[in-house]
Structure 1
Amino acid sequence: MDDFDMLGAPQGSAGNGIGADEDPAAAFLAQQESEIAGIENDEGFSILDSGEVPSSLIQDPDDANSRKQEVEWKEKAKLELEEWHTRQNEQLEKTKVNNRAAEEAMVSELDENSPGTEWERVARLCDFNPKSSKQAKDVSRMRSVLISLKQAPLVR
């Protein structure tokens, strides 16, 4: 019955080699603190006895190379940006020309108002693709009526 005492006194050894009075979290924290103390005592990057900073920290040989690379990268980036702007402007001009041509074609089609072409204009506005949308309502009868009116318009 003593084995089931949840609120009673702490058990001795749990069978894993760790005593009940030794806290694993406290041991871990102590180990981490000792490692941090060892890092803080590292003398590798301190100021020299004369008060000067080591020359290896002042002059980095990679520093000149990194500056050269940075300048090259900036020049390369400027060139790429200028090329992108020229391509973008060319594409914009092409789009403007195409839009103007399409607008002129649309205006000329709207100006065509000859009798008997009404159903042809309606047919141009309709999508006669039977597989346009699966979720839309079935408009096959309307499509067939418009096609028949386009082919044989009503006579008044």
Structure 2
Amino acid sequence: MDGFGDNFDQADVDPAAEFLAREKDQLAGLCDDVIPAASESNTSEGAPANSVNPPVREEPEKIKKWREEQQTRLEEKDREEEKKKLELRDQAKKELEDWYKNHGEAISKTKASNRESAKNAEKQFVAETAEIEPGTEWERIAKLCDFNPKSSKSSRDVSRMRSIILQLKQTPLTNNA
């Protein structure tokens, strides 16, 4: 196996560390030759080249003042927005309570109206059944039927039944038994 040139027996040499050391030696002198782009513009103006970091420019006073004013305006707007949110929530809560109140009243009125109309219909039905006279059966049936000739295409044709009931109403059958 030694003929292949693989020296796996040397466990104390790290190939990554060896590569990094070799590259570091080769690139060691390059840092001094490179001039940053920001300092190149300074050298053309006659200023000495500064390879460290360009100086940090301070913000003008007007920009600082604008930032502070902008910050206070934003904080004020945030406070106003929170106020409006709370007002809208209170208003919505009140409107919802009013709607539930009105809806409940409308339902109770409808229930009372339905009960009253049901009582009236029942009284009328009882009164009519008490007045049953022989021979008026078809007339009472005719009252319960809808004789409106309008019909839709989806409903059945009841014109024949309607004509028979009308005919029986006009000339009732007599029982001569």
- Superposition TM-score, scaled by structure 1 size: 0.55
Change in Cα spacing, 1:71 to 1:125, as seen in structure 2 (3 Å) is same
1:93-119 residue CA offsets vs partner (Å, 9 max, x unmatched): 221122112211221233222124432
Q: Hey, what's the Cα distance between the residues in 1 that align with 2:159 and 2:104?
A: 45
Q: Does 1:78 align with 2:93?
A: yes
For residue 106 of structure 1, what is the amino acid of its counterpart?
A: A
1:55-97 residue CA offsets vs partner (Å, 9 max, x unmatched): 849x722211011101110121122112212221221122112
1:97 match: secondary structure = helix
Q: Hey, what's the Cα distance between the residues in 1 that align with 2:117 and 2:139?
A: 19
Q: Please, which moves more after superposition, 139-148 or 107-116?
A: 107-116
Q: Hey, what's the Cα distance between the residues in 2 that align with 1:100 and 1:135?
A: 33
Q: Does 1:130 align with 2:149?
A: yes
Structure 2, unmatched stretches of 5+, are 1-66
CA RMSD of aligned residues (A): 2.5
Determine if contact 2:151/2:157 at 8 Å carries over to the other structure. Answer: no
C-alpha displacement of 1:141: 1.6
Counterpart residue number, 2:114: 99
Q: Does 1:62 align with 2:77?
A: yes
For residue 63 of structure 1, what is the amino acid of its counterpart?
A: D
- Superposition TM-score, scaled by structure 2 size: 0.49
Change in Cα spacing, 1:87 to 1:70, as seen in structure 2 (3 Å) is same
Aligned length: 102
Structure 1, unmatched stretches of 5+, are 1-53
Q: Does 1:120 align with 2:139?
A: yes
Which structure has the highest helix share of the two? Answer: 2
Q: Does 1:151 align with 2:166?
A: no
